[in-house]
């Protein structure tokens, strides 16, 4: 009964106070929601704010990948250097003008204030000087007490083997510029202020493999700007090692040989005819890449021999008589001449009212003889029969007028002129004289030493062109995983009959045995080649020589240019000879024989 009674009391209470209860439940729900918001959501928010205020990154840079030549010599390495860093966030407030002025006094950087402000804003350390000399190191160290946040740290610096000799091949590194950091360009998106960037050469084209990833410490700094603890450390990841096809010994021989020529200026490119691998790549004069960013570098800027210009890759020269290779094959294939047919050279040829000259008086001369002795009159007559369109077509087949696609940036594509080109460029009609000049590689034809090497390699391979490449492979240091491997890129570019290739080969070998290329005769190692003398409006003609060897099974193709060297036979042939001797180890064989005699 009691139960019944009390139940009815309870029911009555509920009935009477229903509104009140609902009200309390509602209030409780509101309070709980607010509590949740305060405790959980806001806590996260406030933690985030406090983290922003006291956590900072102290960068640590990785070792850049090394560059090895084909024999395992390290062409680009790293050595210890010292740099001065400033941690703007170690100051309680933004760095004062006084601090900035003090730092500016001892730093070589001009826009230091901007760099420091940027570092303060994003909570990152700022590099204020790299590659410190001993005196600079002392100067910075002395200031450390007066300038809290200033610190001298160990870094690595690029060190090159045969630095000046290989500068145009390997390239150099320097710090990313303010302009590059400010751009929205994708390629600079993940660079930090003070990071090194590869410039020119392999350093540039394979920078993404070489540079590695920054690491560093995440540092907690208290309200007074003092470092309280290191929270997290990310190890920097070293860059990957790059293995190239270049033989540094060949580089050395080629460099010295060019240095010994009359001008000391020029270029040499040697290619593996079976793969397209570049064995030597020299441009002279050159510069010391370790001077970059130092006052010493300024000597190159005013040097009128242009040591910073990569002649092998970007130098444009008329090919001179080396072009006769193209003219001869084009004319043979097109049926304009026969190997037996002759022309008469009395030292010049008159076409219209213009006289076109030869270097000598060669008399009755055939194709082989005309190549051997580089008779221009023969090729003027050939040009009259062939016409410019064939010359233009075959020049392109041999790779002129187009980039080779080598794994370096900023290659030049040269120029193959023609009727259409001349009309578009000068609004002038193509003249017969233009065709005559073109047949002997003068006039408007322009090519790079790299293209010349590709052209003679193509002749050695009876029409096959291999894309030249320098980087063979790239390996990850830690895992030894191969990240990149060169692919051999071969295409049939000049289609010609076996008979005509043999005529060309015979003519080119005759140049070495009996003609203008005699200086490259190597006895049992059969060499084929062609000299050239390329007229220039700037003084003495450029000396040119292209060759390959051995004739029966070509392995190496070489192109040499000696600026203002005069005749190809005198100035350029001896350079190629030294490289061939080194390549086929002919000097050693001779030496051994001499040793046995003694």
Residue with tokens 């003694």: 598
CB of 517 to Zn ion, least distance (A): 17
CB of 324 to Zn ion, least distance (A): 12
Q: What secondary structure does DSSP assign to 400-426, as a single string? A: TTS----SSSS----B---HHHHHHHH
Question: CB of 436 within 8 A of CB of 388?
Answer: no
Which residue lies nearer to Zn ion by CB, 66 or 362? 362
What's the Cα-to-Cα distance from 412 to each of 99, 116, 199, 305, 517, rounded to whole Å?
49, 41, 17, 20, 28
Which residue lies nearer to Zn ion by CB, 358 or 575? 358
Which residue lies nearer to Zn ion by CB, 381 or 388? 381
Residue with tokens 């410039």: 199
Among residues 373, 388, 395, 378, the alpha carbon closest in space to that of 337 is found at: 378
CB of 359 to Zn ion, least distance (A): 7
CB of 443 to Zn ion, least distance (A): 18
CB of 556 to Zn ion, least distance (A): 31
User: Residue 447 carries which DSSP code?
Assistant: B
Which residue lies nearer to Zn ion by CB, 326 or 345? 345
What span, in angstroms and rounded, lies between the C-alpha atoms of 417 and 405?
Answer: 21
Phi, psi of 420 (to 5 degrees): -65, -45
The residue ranges that bind Zn ion (CB under 5 A) are 345, 358, 362, 375, 377
Which residue lies nearer to Zn ion by CB, 365 or 447? 365
CA 453-487-579 angle, 5° bins: 30
Element (H, E) at 250: helix 248-259
CB of 367 to Zn ion, least distance (A): 13
Which residue lies nearer to Zn ion by CB, 292 or 345? 345
Question: CB of 244 within 8 A of CB of 471?
Answer: yes
Question: Tokens standing for 244?
Answer: 């190239």
CA 251-196-125 angle, 5° bins: 155
Which residue lies nearer to Zn ion by CB, 242 or 382? 382
User: Residue 26 carries which DSSP code?
Assistant: H
User: Residue 446 carries which DSSP code?
Assistant: B
CB of 525 to Zn ion, least distance (A): 30
Question: CB of 547 within 8 A of CB of 529?
Answer: yes
Question: Tokens standing for 467?
Answer: 């894309």
Question: CB of 76 within 8 A of CB of 203?
Answer: yes
What's the Cα-to-Cα distance from 156 to each of 100, 162, 246, 426, 477, rounded to whole Å?
26, 19, 25, 54, 17
CB of 491 to Zn ion, least distance (A): 36
Among residues 583, 592, 489, 466, the alpha carbon closest in space to that of 71 is found at: 583
What span, in angstroms and rounded, lies between the C-alpha atoms of 559 and 320?
Answer: 13
CB of 290 to Zn ion, least distance (A): 50
Among residues 131, 132, 143, the alpha carbon closest in space to that of 105 is found at: 143
What span, in angstroms and rounded, lies between the C-alpha atoms of 64 and 195?
Answer: 11
Which residue lies nearer to Zn ion by CB, 377 or 503? 377
Which residue lies nearer to Zn ion by CB, 356 or 548? 356
CB of 273 to Zn ion, least distance (A): 31
CB of 376 to Zn ion, least distance (A): 6
**What is the SS3 assignment for 460?**
helix
Which residue lies nearer to Zn ion by CB, 264 or 363? 363
CB of 466 to Zn ion, least distance (A): 34
Which residue lies nearer to Zn ion by CB, 339 or 586? 339
Which residue lies nearer to Zn ion by CB, 215 or 363? 363
Among residues 230, 67, 224, 295, the alpha carbon closest in space to that of 161 is found at: 67
């Amino acid at each position: 009964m009691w139960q019944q009674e009390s139940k009815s009391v309870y029911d009555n209470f509920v009935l009477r106070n229903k509104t009140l209860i609902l009200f309390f439940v509602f209030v409780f729900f509101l309070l709980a929601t607010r509590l949740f918001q305060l405790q959980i959501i806001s806590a996260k928010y406030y933690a985030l704010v406090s983290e922003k205020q006291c956590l900072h990154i102290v960068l640590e840079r990785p070792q850049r990948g090394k560059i090895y030549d084909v024999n395992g010599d390290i062409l680009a390495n790293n050595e210890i250097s010292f740099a001065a860093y400033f941690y703007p966030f170690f100051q309680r407030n933004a760095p004062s003008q006084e601090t900035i002025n003090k730092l500016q006094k001892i730093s070589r950087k001009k826009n230091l204030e901007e760099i420091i402000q940027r570092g303060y804003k994003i909570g990152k350390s700022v590099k204020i000087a790299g590659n410190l000399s001993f005196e600079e190191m002392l100067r910075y160290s002395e200031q450390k007490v007066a300038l809290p946040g200033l610190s001298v740290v160990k870094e690595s610096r690029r060190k090159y083997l045969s630095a000046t000799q290989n500068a145009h091949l390997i390239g150099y590194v320097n710090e990313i510029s303010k302009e590059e950091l400010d751009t929205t360009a994708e390629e600079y998106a993940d660079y930090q202020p003070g990071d090194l960037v590869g410039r020119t050469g392999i350093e540039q084209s394979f920078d993404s493999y070489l540079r590695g990833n920054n690491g560093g410490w995440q540092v907690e700094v208290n309200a007074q700007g003092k470092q309280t603890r290191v929270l997290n450390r990310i190890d920097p990841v070293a860059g990957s090692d790059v293995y190239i096809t270049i033989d540094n010994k060949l580089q050395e021989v080629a460099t010295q040989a060019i240095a010994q020529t009359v001008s000391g200026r020029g270029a040499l490119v040697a290619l593996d005819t079976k793969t397209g691998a570049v064995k030597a790549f020299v441009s002279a004069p050159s510069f010391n890449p370790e001077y970059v960013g130092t006052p010493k570098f300024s000597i190159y800027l005013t040097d009128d021999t242009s040591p910073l210009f990569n002649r092998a890759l970007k130098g444009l020269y008329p090919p001179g008589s080396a072009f006769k290779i193209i003219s001869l094959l084009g004319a043979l294939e097109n049926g304009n001449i026969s190997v037996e047919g002759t022309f008469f050279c009395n030292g010049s040829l008159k076409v219209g009212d213009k006289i076109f000259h030869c270097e000598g008086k060669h008399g009755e001369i055939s194709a082989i003889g005309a190549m051997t002795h580089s008779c221009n009159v023969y090729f003027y007559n050939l040009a009259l029969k062939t016409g410019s369109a064939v010359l233009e077509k075959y020049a392109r087949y041999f790779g002129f007028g187009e980039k080779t696609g080598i794994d370096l940036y900023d290659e030049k594509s040269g120029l193959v002129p023609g009727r259409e080109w001349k009309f578009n460029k000068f609004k002038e009609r193509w003249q017969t004289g233009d065709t005559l000049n073109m047949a002997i590689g003068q006039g408007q034809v322009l090519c790079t030493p790299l293209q010349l090497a590709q052209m003679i390699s193509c002749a050695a391979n009876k029409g096959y062109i291999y894309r030249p490449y320098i980087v063979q492979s790239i390996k990850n240091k830690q895992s030894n995983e191969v990240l990149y491997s060169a692919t051999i890129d071969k295409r049939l570019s000049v289609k010609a009959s076996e008979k005509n290739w043999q005529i060309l080969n015979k003519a080119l070998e005759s140049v070495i045995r009996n003609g203008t290329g005699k200086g490259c005769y190597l006895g049992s190692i059969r060499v084929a080649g062609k000299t050239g003398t390329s007229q220039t409006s700037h003084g003495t003609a450029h000396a040119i020589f292209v060759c390959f060897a051995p004739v029966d099974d070509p392995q190496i193709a070489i192109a040499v240019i000696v600026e203002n060297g005069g005749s190809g036979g005198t100035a350029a042939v001896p350079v190629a000879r030294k490289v061939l001797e080194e390549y086929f180890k002919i000097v050693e064989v001779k030496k051994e024989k001499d040793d046995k005699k003694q």
